[in-house]
Amino acid sequence: MCYPLRIAYNLFFFYLIPDKIAIERKFYKCQGYKLNWNNLKTYSEKMQWLKLNNRKSWYSDCVDKLKVREYVTRKLGTDKYLIPLFFETTDWREVKPENMPDEPFVIKCNHDNASYTIVKDKNDVDWKQLKLYYKRRLNGRSFFWCNREWPYKKVKPRVMVEKFLVSSGRDYKLQEFKFHCFHGKIKVIAFYEIGIDGVERYRHLNADYTMLSENCSFGSYNEVKKEFDKPIVADEMNMIALKLAKDFEFYIRVDIYHVDGKLFVGELTFFDGAGYDVIRPYDWNLELGSYLHLPIDKN
């Protein structure tokens, strides 16, 4: 497709096409079958209904990685579960060493995903390239236009700098737990063990931290079958997840990091994988869908 036609296509698809049609098109592209609005059964299908019908203005603050810090503090009654924040700005030109701490840190945006940069030594960074990278991220399309995730529509893009969470142990690993909460209750926990080179171990757990009986996957991650011991901070993590999930009528995913006995809230997510990631096996997608009760569900 030539450049002018691509520009015209993007203008039409991202900005002019109605949300419902955009969702139907992308769902078909990702899942391989048409969405039937009159008979929604799977988790992936029901996520699309929520995008169109579960729209509350304060949700925007919950997906904003900066503003959600206020929500977390208010709901938990403390700020001790927040990742230490060093700096924030709306100006990409302010991404420079003078504004950075003298310890390892992470640069990322508040309005998107996977824009993070881990910096272990600020004197060993190409700051010119980093500035240009965050210039593009600040001016890029939000998740609303890409996936029609409504809460992101009003998030003002910012760059933020947080403490780099790393274990003091020899393997430098930290753990991340993603709590999938349906109607205020924990139903599934996704567990990640993260090392210096990224995710090393990935499992889905039941709400009691026992392993699921079969391999199940969201998107591109494949499970690694290894024994799993319930963490000593499980009760504290449950408390955090349940308190943060309480106000959400249908679904919310609460991400919590565990490092050296301390817990930190990562983010809140309304639509895991935007509802477009392929969930395997299909029967598990159906089971997850059965946890989510919509007003239009047929008995």
Kindly indicate the confidence band of residue 223, based on its pLDDT and cuts at 50, 70 and 90. low
Backbone phi, then psi, for 195, in 5-degree steps?
Answer: -110, -170
Query: Tell me, what DSSP letter sits at residue 19?
Result: H
- Alpha-carbon distances of 130 from 64, 158, 161, rounded to whole Å: 22, 15, 13
Cα distance between residue 299 and residue 288, in whole Å: 17
pTM over 0.85: yes
174-182 and 185-195: which strand pairing?
Answer: antiparallel
Summarize pLDDT for 139-178 with one digit per residue, the tens.
Answer: 877 777 788 889 888 999 999 999 999 887 656 578 999 9
Backbone phi, then psi, for 260, in 5-degree steps?
Answer: 55, 40
Using CB atoms within 10 Å of the CB of residue 207, give its burial: 0 to 12 exposed, 13 to 18 middle, 19+ buried.
middle
